[in-house]
A and B are shown apart, each in its own frame.
Chain A
């Protein structure tokens, strides 16, 4: 930051950046705000920005109608479980591709990514039939498996790009010292890889949390996560903006908070090898 910056320029930049930031954030702000209004206030013209009777009624109505905690719990288990499982499978794979590359490594990697291009709707029937056959419908285990597979290519790729940035010389040095494969991984690589793994975990929790096709189609009551919760508020009779807002806020709040608290970790690893 050696560039000389005039105060004037800094003020202008600040104004511009904040304006853009607020503009981008506005829909979320508006949703949260509306969730505290009555239905009539929610559609008031002119729109009410601050001065209205704040009410928690929408939240209690939503909670009364659907047991939020259960959906939340399912979301946590499914997003967390699929991510952890994915990491377990992906770390060794990414490690081997990054440090012991072969001629086919890049092909394997790109092939993995290409499996994500299979349109989910196209295989809805096959997957449903498989789920019925094995009794996996409406189970968290089934959902965890599917979401793990859906996101695995992204996990592998992200870890791969991250591992590749770990300089090979360090490994050489460790080997010279006579470290075995196990020590190499445990003592040399792991500490260096932790930030990359952390941000991979974060990104995939977000992706799994927000996945709305399989989570909706393969669950009923027991394993239904927040994506199913929101499906019951999308267009009921009469005015519903405030209740929709409350339900939306409840559905996105946990992941939003998680994302904000961990944004540094997330950002650090979210390069996909874009920076060299």
Chain B
């Protein structure tokens, strides 16, 4: 279908985006790689102008041998995995519910998508202070109302709390995409199944769920990209304490708190590797699903 001229035109049109992103990727990446092999402690007076000492793979070895490294990888995976699970499962249920006819669909849809518009910093602050505060938080009031001892959410159930906050933010996104997908489902097929006496659960498992496969893949892909670099929610709520230190946060501590740029850069390289492992894994699934 494409002629030669349109193909070369296409290349020209693609070029700006590719060049910009290539630059955006390569320049910082090269600098990060460069720093990761150097001793770079700016607070001790190290700077680019004065020249940095080459330390080989010392930063890499130190970063990975730190007692915080593996737990942080685990936390990252658990956090991303749980948020994905929560948003996808609740998203499907919510989409099924919102697909039903009921009064006030427009308003309810507005209510449901609202959290997606809230800044991560704001949502973390609001949840942390006004809901999860063990003394003055609304949840503490609620617990006391039922005669229970208020929970210290951010220390006793810290990871779960952060997962909850992040899930709240991303649930609207999942719901919207899944809802659109459900609405595109051929309703005649469903009706036929209903007439044949297929139970609701069966209809869901054999007709709706397969139809949603592609949408679920998309939700997982897009969310993973954003979730791997979650930062504000942790910074505001726990500061990485109580087992909520993700790989991203660990790098933040190395770079900003400790001001060890070399070590942090090595961590950044590890994070890129982890992201790519996750990406390859995802791309496999998505690639397959996208071709269908």
Contacts and interface: CB of A to CB of B under 8 A. Distances in A.
A276 B218 CA distance: 13
B127 A27 contact: yes
A21 interface: yes
B130 A34 contact: yes
Interface residues of A, number: 94
Nearest to B216: A274
A233 to B, nearest CB: 8
Contacts of A267: 109, 113, 176, 180
A116 B224 CA distance: 10
Interface string B272-292: 100110110001001100101
Interface in A106-128: 106, 108, 110, 112-127
A129 B221 CA distance: 32
Interface stretch (A39-47, A51-59, A61-69, A136-144): A39-47
A231 B178 CA distance: 34
Nearest to B118: A252
Contact of B171 (A24, A116, A154, A256): A24
Main secondary structure, interface of B, reads: helix
Contacts of B286: 110
Interface residues of B, number: 112
Nearest to A157: B222
Nearest to B269: A122
Contacts of B114: 24-25, 28, 256, 259-260
Nearest to B272: A118
Nearest to B219: A274
B64 interface: no
A71 to B, nearest CB: 12
Given A3-B191, A124-B255, A252-B119, A13 B100 contact: yes
A149 to B, nearest CB: 4
Given A24-B115, A27-B115, A96-B9, A248 B102 contact: no
A36 to B, nearest CB: 14
What 10 A-B pairs come out closest when comparing CB atoms? A122-B268, A96-B10, A92-B13, A117-B275, A93-B17, A100-B10, A126-B31, A274-B215, A21-B111, A123-B28
